[in-house]
Amino acid sequence: MEGNKRYHFVLVHGLSHGAWCWYKTIDLLEKAGHKATAIDLAACGLHPADLTRITSFKQYNQPLIDVLASLEPSEKVILVGHSMGGVSLIDAAGRFPNKIAVAVYVSAMMLFGGFRISEYLQMHKVVNDDGTEQDIVLSGLLRRPFPSCCLKAEIKHSVEVIESVPRVFVKLEKDNAILVSIQDAMIRKHPPAQVLSLITDHSPFFSSPKELNDLLLQIAETYNS
């Protein structure tokens, strides 16, 4: 483990996914001696909530908020979000800025005001999971419909508070779901502290797990010095 430091990574999935999509990342981080907590947002993955009862983004994101609220007073995490998980990161940064050492947006929705269906239609093609054939089969078995409230998620936290949390954007150069042009547009609108790149597709936790892991450890070292 680099420098004998043990980091805590909190991993947030995108639409229709769950904590399960991070299984390779969790394995690599834990083998390196770090702690990895993958979240099932409400009615996602193994979360028991009834999809029809999740009517607000606040409810949808509550499992992440609960994890951050449970941290020790001095603990800070590396918060990592993929795709729509970026909106969860924005909400968390507005509510618990002192609990987050750095927020990492892996081709994620870095939209300070939230997310609306019009933006979804502009930004997304049909999302096909990448990775090995086994990963694609796994994803097909485990993906769940997402709560419709995700398509109109309003975030009303102070921009100043959100920006107090360092942000790193990880561009995915072969992303066919959130195109590079859209990633660049979000970076221009809300410039992060750092932009890094992976030459991979929309699902690096499947297709490029080692490269993603190495990047996350690099970010952790940079923002916990």
Tell me, yes or no, if 225 is annotated catalytic: no
From the list 202, 203, 207, 208, the catalytic residue is 202
Q: Is 184 a catalytic residue?
A: no
Query: Considering 83, 107, 139, 208, which one is annotated as catalytic?
Result: 83
Out of 175, 201, 203, 207, which one is annotated catalytic? 175
Count the neighbouring beta carbons within 10 Å of the beta carbon of residue 225.
Answer: 7
Based on the residue annotation, tell me whether 83 is a catalytic residue of this protein. Answer: yes
Distance CA 140, CA 17 (A): 10
Would you please indicate which residues are annotated as catalytic (active-site) residues?
83, 175, 202
